[in-house]
Structure 1
Amino acid sequence: MSKIEVSRQQSQVGFLVCIGLLSAAGPAIAHHALDGKIPSNFFEGFVSGLAHPIIGLDHFAFIVAIGLLAVGLSRGALIPAGFILTALVGTGIHLLKLDLPGAEMIIAGSAIAFGVMLFTQQRPNFMALTALASGAGLFHGYAYGESIVGAQMTPLLAYLLGFSLIQYAISLLALLIGNWTMKKFTRPTFSPLQFAGFVICSIGTVFLTSSLLG
């Protein structure tokens, strides 16, 4: 099969994914692992922290995008670390009952922006990319805070630990897979990372549309 045919097939699959996501668009999901219940102990807090970045597709897409954009960078693992640190700050802002306006739209926009960088294979330098990821982390963390407002200190700390560990693990796994992929697919017409960028951008578009219409 020629590279042109492979590229065409990948584009068709990406188009179908986009259509499927758009057809499923609705009000933004509230991302509660415990059906809206506030965690009351360490276990519930930890599980809720692990689940929130996964069941929230917009968050998950962005975490994966961070890892994939770090592919090939010698200090790439520091980029998601910066994101997680500012996400903790963002959660703290929410717990202090301070307001970050337009958080859901900025979260969706961050997925779109990082997806576009992957798709176009254009990314800023390490410092700029870290700054962008860290800036987005404030708003992602602010959204995470909604699930833990009102919890006691033990489940709160467990929640923070859970979402920090799962996000770093996902982003590092994406980084490792991305590095392996780039070694296997040398100079492809349409690389797997570009395809991932297209899907991530589509997810961000769905959630942005949902936020605007909601």
Structure 2
Amino acid sequence: MNLSKLVASVQSKAIVIMIGFSLLVVASPASAHHAMGGKMPSNFFEGFLSGLAHPVIGFDHLAFIVAVGLFAAIKPQGILIPISFVLSAMLGTGIHLLGLTLPVVELVVSASILLFGVLMALKNSPNVLMMVGLSIVAGLFHGYAYGEAIFGAQTTALVAYLCGFTVIQLVISGAAFFVGQKVMKGDFAQVAPNLRSAGLVICGIGAAFLASNISSLILPAPKG
């Protein structure tokens, strides 16, 4: 397969994934993600497990974590982008646990996915300092959303939860960074511009979550 056919194949697959995932997201109303089936973690193991699971079972968070990892691969000193996001997410969780309020959290979370997808799809994206700043703001809101699953838990479970979601976010974003670096510098360097195809996929996911969250605010909840 020559390069042009490979590029076309990557782009077509990206579009199919974007459409399919977007339809899946729209069909599922946005909600808080609980690894313990809604049960509050009561010990270190449950807290750590819940922390590991939350950014994974929450597809909105997962999409954003992958996005910051890929962005890190295309920027000089880009590793600062996922690191700043992860640290900021811890702060955002702390804000929630202190009882402070951030407005329209789910809307900002989904909008952040869409924004990063758009920026990734652009030929000339903002510099690393701008992306670090955006990551910090996004991290506050993603972290605040994480805090919903652990609010009211005992200290041991709380600390374990923070450790869990920090570890898994670093692992996922690090893996995305590693893959992105391989694409940029490896044998497929000529296909590197098609990392922007991943941006299109992330755009679709973000747009679908944003539409779902907006509709949940506008439309009345179904009576059960």
Number of residues paired by the alignment?
213
Aligned to 2:48: 46
Structure 1 residue 200: Cα displacement: 1.1
Tell me the distance in 2 between the aligned counterparts of 1:93 and 1:121.
36
Tell me the distance in 2 between the aligned counterparts of 1:74 and 1:186.
16
Tell me the distance in 1 between the aligned counterparts of 2:161 and 2:98.
16
Contact 1:119 1:195 in 2 (8 A): yes
Matches within 5 A, 1:85-104: 85-104=87-106
Tell me the distance in 2 between the aligned counterparts of 1:156 and 1:43.
11
Using the aligned pairs only, state the percent identity.
Answer: 49
Q: What letter is aligned with 2:14?
A: G
Residue 190 to residue 2, structure 1, CA distance change in 2 (3 Å):
farther
Contact 1:4 1:189 in 2 (8 A): no
Residue 152 to residue 96, structure 1, CA distance change in 2 (3 Å):
same
Aligned to 2:10: 10
Q: What letter is aligned with 2:65?
A: I
Structure 1 residue 29: Cα displacement: 3.6
Contact 1:3 1:189 in 2 (8 A): no
Aligned to 1:127: 129
Deviations 1:73-107 (CA, angstroms, capped at 9, x unpaired): 44322221111111111111111222111111111
Aligned to 2:20: 20
Aligned to 1:185: 188
Contact 2:32 2:145 in 1 (8 A): no
Deviations 1:119-169 (CA, angstroms, capped at 9, x unpaired): 223321121111110110000000000000110000000000110111011
Q: What 5-or-longer segments of structure 2 have no aligned partner?
A: 217-224
Contact 2:183 2:192 in 1 (8 A): no
| SS at structure 1 position matched to 2:19 | helix
Contact 2:71 2:120 in 1 (8 A): yes
| SS at structure 2 position matched to 1:187 | helix
Aligned to 1:106: 108
Contact 2:67 2:116 in 1 (8 A): yes
Tell me the distance in 2 between the aligned counterparts of 1:159 and 1:143.
13
- 1:55 counterpart (57, 61, 65): 57
Tell me the distance in 2 between the aligned counterparts of 1:166 and 1:194.
24
Query: What CA RMSD, in Å, does the superposition of the two structures yield over aligned residues?
Result: 1.6
Give the TM-score of the pair, scaled to structure 1. Answer: 0.93
Residue 77 to residue 8, structure 1, CA distance change in 2 (3 Å):
closer
Tell me the distance in 1 between the aligned counterparts of 2:3 and 2:125.
24
Tell me the distance in 2 between the aligned counterparts of 1:78 and 1:22.
29
Q: What letter is aligned with 2:173?
A: S
Contact 1:67 1:172 in 2 (8 A): yes
Structure 1 residue 2: Cα displacement: 4.2
Q: What letter is aligned with 2:128?
A: F
Aligned to 2:81: 79
Give the TM-score of the pair, scaled to structure 2. Answer: 0.89
Q: What letter is aligned with 1:205?
A: A
Aligned to 1:202: 204
Tell me the distance in 1 between the aligned counterparts of 2:6 and 2:41.
47
Q: What 5-or-longer segments of structure 1 have no aligned partner?
A: none
